[in-house]
C-alpha cells in the first residue's frame, strides 16, 4: 500500500507510533520480508522542524542495503564526513580518519528530511501531524485513538516515540534513566568548509558541531539539566558566552551568524524495564537510549527496527520466541553500552572534581 498523508484508515496489522529512523526501519523491513502486513506510521510532526542527531556512520551502509534503499540514499549526495576530531582527555584535537574505519566515511544529514524520506520509502500509510491520544486492548488487537478523532484497529503496536517511550508508558512500562544529560542546540550560518564532526570536552560537559547542507552548522552544548540551569544555557547570551570558552568549536561559529532558533532536548541514557509485551514492542530510543557521544543513534535505530521486524514477523506467524529474543537483544545491547559509556568518560580526567565529570566517574 503506497503512502498517503492522513488518508482514511480504520484497520491495519501494525501501527508504528513515531516516524523517525527506528519507525521507518520497522516499516521498511516489514515491507521486505512480511509484505502482506499493512503498516501505518503515526507521526506527530509534519517533518518541517529541525531535528538534532545528524551523524550517520559508514557502518550504516549494510543496513541501508538490507533495507533496499542504499542506491536511493547514495544518489542524494549527502555531505561526507571524512573524519572525527576530538579534544577529549587532552586540550588538542585528535583526528580519527575514515581511512582507519572499516565502515568508511559517514554522512551529515538533514535529519527531518532523512526521517521523512525513510517513512515514505517504506510504503506504509503515513499519518502526519497526528498524536497518539490513547489505546485500549480489545479482542484481536488494539483500538488506537488519535488526535484526529479517527480510531484505528491494529493487531500489533510499535513504540518508536524516542526517549519519551509514550506508548510503552501507556502500557505500564517504566523508563529507567541513568544520568541527566541534555543537549542545548543552536544553528549557525557559516562560510567555513570544515567537514569533520568535532567534539570538545569542557569543564561542565562537552560540545559538538557538524557542518550540514546549505551552509548551516549545528552546535550543541551537552551537560546535565541542573548544570545547564545554573549556567542559564536557555538564554542566548549565556549560551554564547559558554561557547566562547571552548578552544576549538568557537572558531567555527562567528557570533554574527547564529540563527534565532534553539532546541533543548533530553539526551539521558535510559532503558525500559519491559521493551516488549503482548502484541507490542519498543524500538530505537524508546527501548533504550544511548549518550549521543556514541555517534551511533541513527545506526542503532536502523538495526533495532530491522530486528524488531523479525520479532513482529514471528508474532504473526505464530512463533512465540521472537518477542523474548528481541527483548534479550535490547537488554544485552544496553548492558554492553553501559560498560563502554563508563570507559569513555574515564578517559577525561582534567575536571574530575567538577559535578558533571564526577557523576560519570563515580556513578
Rounded CA gap, 118 and 23, in Å? 9
Whole-model pTM: value is 0.92
The CATH superfamily label for domain 11-79+108-177+269-339 reads FAD/NAD(P)-binding domain (3.50.50.60)
Q: Cα 214 to the chain's mean position, in Å?
A: 22
Q: For 106-163, how does the pLDDT look when each residue is reduced to its tens digit (9 = 90+)? A: 888 888 999 999 999 999 999 999 999 999 999 999 999 999 998 899 999 999 999 9
Q: Tell me the three cell numbers of residue 274.
A: 519491559
Q: What is the 3 state secondary structure string of 97-134?
A: EHHHCCCCCEEECCHHHHHHHHHHHCCCEEECCCCEEE
Q: For 332-344, how does the pLDDT look when each residue is reduced to its tens digit (9 = 90+)? A: 999 999 999 999 9
- Say which CATH topology domain 181-266 has: D-Amino Acid Oxidase; Chain A, domain 2 (3.30.9)
Q: Tell me the three cell numbers of residue 310.
A: 523479525
pLDDT, position 257:
67
pLDDT, position 142:
96
At 209, is the secondary structure helix, strand, or coil? Answer: strand
| CB contact at 8 A, 101 and 261 | no
pLDDT mean across residues, the chain: 91
Q: Give domain limits for the chain.
A: 11-79+108-177+269-339, 181-266
Rounded CA gap, 31 and 318, in Å? 19
| CB contact at 8 A, 279 and 156 | yes
Q: For 27-54, how does the pLDDT look when each residue is reduced to its tens digit (9 = 90+)? A: 999 999 999 999 999 999 999 877 887 8
- Give me the half-sphere count of Cα atoms (radius 13 Å) on the Cβ side of residue 191: 3
Tell me: pLDDT of 238 over 50. yes
If you search the block for the grid coordinates 582527555, which residue do you land on? 89
Q: Tell me the three cell numbers of residue 264.
A: 533543548
pLDDT, position 97:
61
Amino acid at each position: 500500500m503506497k503512502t498517503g498523508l492522513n488518508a482514511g484508515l480504520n484497520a491495519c496489522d501494525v501501527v508504528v507510533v513515531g516516524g523517525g529512523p527506528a519507525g521507518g526501519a520497522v516499516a521498511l523491513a516489514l515491507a521486505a520480508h512480511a509484505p502482506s502486513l499493512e503498516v501505518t506510521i503515526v507521526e506527530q510532526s509534519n517533518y518541517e522542524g529541525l531535528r538534532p542527531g545528524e551523524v550517520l556512520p559508514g557502518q550504516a551502509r549494510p543496513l541501508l542495503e538490507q533495507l533496499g534503499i542504499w542506491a536511493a540514499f547514495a544518489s542524494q549526495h549527502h555531505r561526507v564526513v571524512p573524519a572525527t576530531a576530538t579534544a577529549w582527555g587532552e586540550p588538542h584535537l585528535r583526528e580519527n580518519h575514515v581511512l582507519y574505519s572499516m565502515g568508511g566515511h559517514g554522512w551529515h544529514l538533514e535529519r527531518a528530511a532523512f526521517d521523512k524520506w525513510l517513512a515514505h520509502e517504506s510504503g506504509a500509510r503515513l499519518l502526519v501531524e497526528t498524536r497518539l491520544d490513547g489505546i485500549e486492548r480489545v479482542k484481536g488487537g488494539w483500538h488506537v485513538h488519535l488526535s484526529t478523532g479517527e480510531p484505528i484497529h491494529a493487531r500489533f503496536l510499535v513504540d518508536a516515540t524516542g526517549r519519551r517511550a509514550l506508548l510503552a508508558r501507556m502500557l505500564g512500562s517504566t523508563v529507567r534513566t541513568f544520568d541527566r544529560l541534555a543537549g542545548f542546540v543552536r544553528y549557525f550560518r557559516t562560510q567555513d568548509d570544515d567537514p569533520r564532526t568535532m567534539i570538545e570536552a569542557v569543564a561542565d560537559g562537552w560540545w559538538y558541531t557538524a557542518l550540514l547542507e546549505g551552509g548551516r552548522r549545528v552546535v550543541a552544548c551537552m551537560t546535565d539539566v541542573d548544570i545547564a540551569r545554573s549556567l542559564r544555557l536557555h538564554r542566548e547570551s549565556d549560551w554564547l558566552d559558554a561557547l566562547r570558552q571552548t578552544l576549538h568549536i568557537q572558531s567555527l561559529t562567528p557570533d554574527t551568524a547564529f540563527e534565532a532558533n534553539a532546541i533543548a532536548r533530553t539526551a539521558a541514557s535510559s532503558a525500559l524495564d519491559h521493551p516488549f509485551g503482548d502484541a507490542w514492542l519498543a524500538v530505537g530510543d524508546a527501548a533504550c537510549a544511548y549518550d549521543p557521544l556514541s555517534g551511533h543513534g541513527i545506526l542503532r535505530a536502523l538495526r533495532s527496527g530491522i530486528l524488531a521486524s523479525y520479532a513482529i514477523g514471528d508474532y504473526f506467524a505464530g512463533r512465540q520466541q521472537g518477542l523474548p529474543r528481541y527483548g534479550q537483544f535490547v537488554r544485552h545491547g544496553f548492558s554492553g553500552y553501559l560498560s563502554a559509556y563508563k570507559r569513555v568518560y574515564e578517559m577525561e580526567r582534567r575536571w574530575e572534581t567538577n559535578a558533571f565529570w564526577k557523576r560519570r566517574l563515580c556513578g
